[in-house]
A and B are shown apart, each in its own frame.
Chain A
Amino acid sequence: MTDAAELAEKLEAIVRSVPGVTVLYPTTPIVVTIVGSVVEALTQRAKAPKLVTVTTEKAQLSVTARIGVADAASSAEVCRRVHDTIAAHPAALALAPINTISVTVVSIG
């Protein structure tokens, strides 16, 4: 497992624990996820869709997450909280300088 993949797993748990986050959605398009699932079924490899994506390019880190937010919370505040939590995570800071952290609220309630 690469450092980026390990960090993605850690960040997935971290993002889930941010107050107001109700669900994480795959960061790859549904079609890609479905095709991937079919391929995995054929090769008998079980693989969950990626819920947080981490890439390192030109020695800089980019993180992507798509979240659902509780109706009682504020989407804007929760979104900023997720960004700040990722930005402050020691494992992220240790891997490479952060280039971008993309967080998108895709459902509410």
Chain B
Amino acid sequence: MISSDTPDSVAAWGGPDDEADQLDGHTIEQLSDYLDRSRTPADPSIDHSPACQIALASLERLHGAMSSMAQEEADRAPSLDDSWVTTILEGIVRDSRSGRDIPISHPASTARLAITEGAVRGLLRAAGDTVDNLIVGRCRLDGEITTLGAPITVTVDANVYKGENIPVLADKLRDTLFGALRTHTELAIVGIDVIIRDIYLTKPEPSDEEATL
């Protein structure tokens, strides 16, 4: 056998991911610090890890959403209850794991094509976070996702700003997620359940300058 390297098995990718609070050997706090340092000095163990990259993208969006909160709310929130941030961070860690391989069809007998569950959950988080006034907390794919054509249900936990119309936002989120899944996967989606877990964010008031635009 001649080999340029040894290919992995799915099980071999478990490794440090098996640690409940780590992604390829890194905690969410370490990844957040790496983001704060503008990813310098470069850390190959983070840069070469898809799970870490998915988590970093989610963290960047969360930081953006939090910085857009009214400052007063941001100052007050920690003293009231910061469990929602912890819940979202835990969701980012869980969702970024590689998980199962979801097959992609191809007529050639040589083809072994797949997309990881982690990549799809990362896609769902990214797509969901594009919906205004909403932050995705957690995504889950239920069903035999390793079988082509098997019926799959998606469940998404989300957090919304106070005062938003929840049914309208949920429909918008559902449409956005369905579009992303249809573009990138061959999953047979039979339902997308949206659960609004918490409603605590105060939408920032537009400044005078923004209000006149």
Contacts and interface: CB of A to CB of B under 8 A. Distances in A.
A21 interface: no
A8 B184 contact: no
Interface in A1-40: 2-5, 7-8, 25-31, 33-34, 37
Given A33-B44, A55-B2, A83-B106, A101 B184 contact: no
B126 A75 contact: no
Contacts of A106: 50, 98, 115-116, 118-119
Contacts of B2: 2-4, 55-56
A37 B44 contact: yes
B116 A100 contact: no
A4 B126 CA distance: 38
B207 interface: no
Contacts of B6: 28, 53, 55
Given A76-B104, A99-B110, A108-B122, A30 B4 contact: no
List of 5 A-B pairs having minimum Cβ-Cβ separation, nearest first: A106-B50, A50-B5, A8-B4, A102-B112, A105-B115
Contacts of A30: 15-16, 24-25, 45, 48-49
Nearest to B101: A104
B173 interface: no
Contact of B186 (A2, A76, A108): A76
Interface in B69-108: 98, 101, 104-106, 108
A85 B116 CA distance: 21
A109 to B, nearest CB: 5
Given A8-B5, A55-B2, A68-B50, 12 more contacts: A27-B8, A28-B5, A30-B45, A31-B24, A33-B45, A74-B183, A75-B115, A79-B115, A80-B104, A102-B114, A106-B98, A109-B126
B45 A34 contact: yes
Main secondary structure of the interface of B (DSSP, over half): mixed
A103 interface: yes
Interface in A51-68: 52-57, 62, 64, 66, 68
7 contacts: A29-B8, A31-B15, A56-B3, A68-B50, A71-B123, A79-B104, A102-B113
Interface residues of B, number: 45
Contacts of A29: 8, 12-13, 15
A74 B187 CA distance: 13
B4 A101 contact: no
Contact of B108 (A26, A28, A71, A87): A87
Contacts of B45: 30, 33-34
B57 interface: yes
Nearest to A48: B44
Contacts of B12: 29
A98 interface: yes
B27 interface: no
Nearest to B54: A107
Contacts of A49: 44, 48
B185 interface: yes
